[in-house]
Amino acid sequence: MTDPSPVDRPSDPRLGGRQLQRIVYDAATIARRVGELGAEITDTYGSGDLLVVGLLKGSVIFVSDLVRAIRRPLQIDFLAASSYGAGMASSGTVRLVYDPETPLEGRHILVVEDIVESGRTMARLLDLLRQRGPATVEVCALLHKRIATALQEPVRFVGFDAPRDFLVGYGLDHAEDYRHLPYIASI
C-alpha cells in the first residue's frame, strides 16, 4: 500500500497549540486498511481458538477497531512492554509491565502491535509467547518501518509501510501525548 499525500493539520484543537509536521495517514485511510486486515485475518484463521494479544498501550485503538473487523470467534488479552520511556528512540531495554494470564497452549496467537521499528521488543515477546506452547504465533502491525534487524521472521500482517519519521496518533504517543488523535502524523 502506498503512502497517501501528506495533509497539513495546523489548527487541530486536540493538539493544544502544538504543531505536527504532517498527517501521514488520515482517519479514512486507516479505517479502510483496518477493514482489509480484518478480512485477511478472517480468511487466514478458519478454525481453532484465536487469541488476539494487543501490546499496550500503543495498540489499544488499533486492536479495538481490528477485532470488530475480524469475522470469526476470538478472545482478546493484552501484554505491556516498555522500551521508550519519554524518549523518541527505543532504549534497547525491554521491560515487561503486564503479562497475560490467558492460557496460550494450543491456540492461534495473533500479536497486535502499533509499530515495528527495531524489532527488539517484538523478538523478545515472540520468544516468550512461543515458550507457552501455542499452535501458531503471528504478528499484525499497523505500521512497519522495515528497519527491524532483530526479528527472525517477517511480520505476517502489515497495515502500512511507515516513513522513518517519529509518528504519533491512533494510539502512538510521544511521552503519553497524542494517542487520541484519529490520524497518524509525524512530529
Residue 98 has which C-alpha cell?
Answer: 503486564
pLDDT computed for residue 4 by the predictor: 42
> Confidence band (pLDDT; 50, 70, 90) for 95?
low
Residue 97: pLDDT above 70? yes
pLDDT, mean over the chain: 86
Torsion sign over Cα 93, 98, 102, 103 = positive
Give the model confidence (pLDDT) of 25-52 as tens digits.
999 999 999 999 999 999 999 888 999 9
* Structural domains of the chain, count: 1
Domain with 53 in it: 26-79+101-163
Q: Return the higher-pLDDT residue of 136 and 10.
A: 136
For residues 141 and 159, the answer to whether their CB atoms sit within 8 Å is: yes
pTM for this entry: 0.85
Give the model confidence (pLDDT) of 135-166 as tens digits.
999 999 999 998 877 788 889 999 999 999 99
Q: Is residue 86 in a domain?
A: no
For residues 147 and 115, the answer to whether their CB atoms sit within 8 Å is: no
CA distance 70 to 160: 18
pLDDT computed for residue 2 by the predictor: 44
Closest CA to 106 of 140, 143, 151, 137: 137
Q: Is residue 127 in a domain?
A: yes
Q: Is residue 114 in a domain?
A: yes
Q: Is residue 75 in a domain?
A: yes
Residue 73 sits in a domain whose CATH number is 3.40.50.2020
Beta bridge partners of 172: 169
